[in-house]
Amino acid sequence: MKFYNRQKELANLHHIEQASQIRSKMTFIVGRRRIGKTKLIKEAYAKKVYLFVSKKDEAMLCEEFVGIVSNALNIKLLGEFRNFKNLFEYLMQLGQHRHFTLVIDEFQEFLTINSSLYSDMQNIWDTYKDTTKVNLILCGSIYSLMKRIFEDKKEPLFGRADNKIHLKSFSVATLKEILHEHHPSFRPKDLLSFYIFTGGVAKYVELFVDKKAYTFERQLEAIFDEFSLFLEEGKNLLIEEFGKEYTTYFSILSLIANSKTARTEMESILGKNVGGYLDRLENEYTLIQKVKPILAKEGSRTLKYEIIDNYFNFWFRFIYKYKSAIEIENYAFVKEIVKRDFDVYSGRFLEKYFIQMMKASETFSHIGTYWERGNHNEIDIVAIDELDKKLAFYEVKLNEKKIDLNALKQKSSKLLDKFNGYKVEYHGLSLRDM
């Protein structure tokens, strides 16, 4: 698959590279696994020293790195390097005489190889950064660890990075562009399922493109195949993040994916306090987020939780929930359940799709959803333009025939008191509007 989107990130990386020709710059790149960090780096820098930190003995790792450095910079390294501290200092000293880009991928893995290395790197960086010309790119896929390494005040590399790039999923516009380019006759349902199943994650999009899975039916075949990456992906990616307590985290995420989105509901089902887990899932792992009614007060307890990543939501709703069938390889059974439940399940993602489109349009100052205590008077989308004093209410349905604008007007009546002098509009959005 060709390289899509990421123009802003590429421009930023090129700017950093130019600045590093005068003085060394440190950049850290984070983003969930499969999001395309390595591909972005390869697209940005044709010439670079690229070091991948695999889980092996430090001396063996350094032996591998020495060969890579020699080939990339066309030099012969003198002496023996059995620890990365010495190799890193050698590279920084080399940067006094020549400019180059040094990429260290899966940087968080040094925590298990030699946790004292970050202190060593801090001392070396502080010593040489002002007199060298190294473009240092530190990349990692375990978000919680990378965030701790660079943003925890207690960690040695805190405050050392000049730049941070948080690589996110493809936009809905990019997903639409990819489908249109490869399968111009796609249906709205195909676009919606493409958005739900991949979540805009570059690797999943690439897998669908490779398998020519452009329709809802073909996408299901690609997911529920005995050799499919999708079946074990959620478990493989998250167990390492969560560690020994992964079963509790999995239970909470499974409840949220199955519409048990209030903390009280979760605690009632699990029989334990989940406040600490929810806090870590939100702030440390960035897998969930709080959703409050638009214009809710800061301390409002009217809130729900949602899984941010579309793929993880789908995985917990259908694959993890029916893991017994998956384990005995009865993929056809789970596939039929997805087909049966897809229309109901996909409704809130259609709302999410339109909200992302509206945000990208940069037309509104506030965009969100609205409901009152007890889930009364739910409004799918409320969009506010404070500059031109416009207020828009949207009802979102898969089937446009089910849209009832009169009911929408009644549900919005309480909100109107807060917007005197605003021009009010009511709209319906359906699959056809994608």
Q: Where are the domain boundaries for CATH 1.10.10 in the chain?
A: 230-328
Say what the pLDDT of residue 302 is: 84
CA atoms of 226 and 3, how far apart (whole Å): 28
What is the tens place of the pLDDT at every residue in 259-271? 999 999 999 999 9
Read out DSSP for 175-236?
A: HHHHHHHH-TT--HHHHHHHHHHHTT-HHHHHHHHHTT--SHHHHHHHHSSTT-SHHHHHHH
291 pLDDT higher than 80: yes
Question: How crowded is residue 263: how many other Cβ atoms within 10 Å of its Cβ?
Answer: 18
Does the domain at 7-166 match CATH 3.40.47.10? Answer given as no
Instruction: Report which DSSP code applies to 142.
Output: -
Q: What is the pTM of this model?
A: 0.89
Least confident residue range of 90-99, 146-155, 246-255, 344-353: 146-155
1 pLDDT higher than 70: no
- For the chain, the farthest-separated pair of C-alpha atoms sits apart, in whole angstroms, at 79
What is the tens place of the pLDDT at every residue in 412-427? 998 998 899 999 999 9
For 42, 195, 305, the CA distances from 289, given in Å and listed in that order, are: 32, 19, 6
Q: What is the mean pLDDT of residues 39-59?
A: 94
Stronger pLDDT, 80 or 259, i.e. the higher one: 259
What is the tens place of the pLDDT at every residue in 97-127? 999 999 999 999 999 999 899 999 999 999 9
Say what the pLDDT of residue 78 is: 77
Say what the pLDDT of residue 125 is: 97
Cα-to-chain-centroid distance, residue 47: 27
What is the tens place of the pLDDT at every residue in 165-188? 999 999 999 999 999 999 999 999
CATH of domain 230-328: 1.10.10
Q: Where are the domain boundaries for CATH 3.40.50.300 in the chain?
A: 7-166
Say what the pLDDT of residue 373 is: 81
Say what the pLDDT of residue 417 is: 87
Q: What is the mean pLDDT of residues 80-99?
A: 96
Average pLDDT over the chain reads 94
What is the tens place of the pLDDT at every residue in 222-231? 999 999 999 9
Say what the pLDDT of residue 312 is: 97
Say what the pLDDT of residue 142 is: 78
Q: How would residue 240 be classed by pLDDT, with cut points 50, 70 and 90?
A: confident
